[in-house]
Amino acid sequence: MRLVLLGPPGAGKGTQATRISARHGVPAISTGQLFDQQISAGTALGRRAEHYVRAGELVPDEIVLDIVAERLTTGVDCEVGFLLDGFPRTLPQAEALDRMLDASCGPLDLVVDLVVGEDEVLKRISRRAVSEGRRDDTEQTARRRLKVFAAETAPLRSHYADQGLLRSVDGSGSPDEVFARIEEVLAAVAHPEVRASRP
Ligand code: AMP
């Protein structure tokens, strides 16, 4: 199963990625986590990325693509697939991913778009700032990240809708409720005959 999880910061992508990964046995690859690890380890790449992460800005595409290409060529089994959380976030990243997959595992199966309103997302981010102490969870950076999402990442919806891959899932409610909705959508990948019988 080759999946992308799309959605604004605070939509619950990380929470749902963990669940999907556990249920379906696909590794979840989070670019945010990869950057966090590099920053904590003080690597050259971490030092290049840190300023952007702290400011709630996107890390430049060439740095992101380096880290993703490396992760997708080491330890990814095309049969098992993968789940991308937080990547792609720009159109050039999505196009680069399409090219990488054309040359390796084949196209994505689905893009799950977690839809959550701005007020709810801001509430969740401020709760997370208290409970997890992320390096980018201040109110100011949260607002900036939402703006960046709207400008840079939301256009990916039409990129994937044009490919027939986009499935929008209501991301409101409890993690269990959201996961149940995602499972319904994923049933079409696990059982393609369900997908074939739908219009
Ligand atoms: P996340 O945990 O996915 O919200 O990512 C945290 C931060 O890491 C983002 O606000 C960006 O600064 C950076 N980041 C993660 N993934 C990407 C990406 N695909 N493109 C650019 N920056 C990214």
3-state secondary structure string, 103-167? CCCCCCCEEEEEECCHHHHHHHHHHHHHHHCCCCCCHHHHHHHHHHHHHHHCCHHHHHHHCCCEE
How are the residues of the chain apportioned to helix, strand and coil, as percentages rounded to the nearest 5?
60, 10, 30
The label of the residue with tokens 């556990």 reads 22
pLDDT attached to residue 191: 59
Ligand 1 binding pocket mutation candidate from 13, 18, 47, 53 (most atoms within 8 A of CB): 53
Phi, psi of 159, rounded to the nearest 5 degrees: -55, -45
pLDDT attached to residue 190: 66
CA of 59 to the centre of ligand 1 (A): 7
CA of 118 to the centre of ligand 1 (A): 18
C-alpha 118/C-alpha 137 separation (Å) is: 15
pLDDT attached to residue 72: 84
Helix (DSSP H) and strand (DSSP E) numbers for the chain = 10, 5
Is 134 annotated to bind a ligand? Reply is yes
Return the CATH superfamily for domain 2-197.
Answer: P-loop containing nucleotide triphosphate hydrolases (3.40.50.300)
pLDDT attached to residue 161: 97
pTM, full prediction: 0.91
Give the position, in ligand 1's atom list, of the atom nearest the Cα of 53: 12
pLDDT attached to residue 74: 78
pLDDT attached to residue 197: 52
pLDDT attached to residue 70: 86
Q: Which residues pair with 28 in a beta bridge?
A: 83
pLDDT attached to residue 193: 55
Q: pLDDT truncated to tens, each residue of the chain (199 aa)?
A: 999 999 999 999 999 999 999 999 999 999 999 999 999 999 999 999 999 999 999 999 999 999 998 888 877 788 889 999 999 999 999 999 999 999 888 999 999 999 999 999 988 888 877 677 676 777 888 889 999 999 999 999 999 999 999 999 999 999 999 999 999 999 987 655 554 555 5
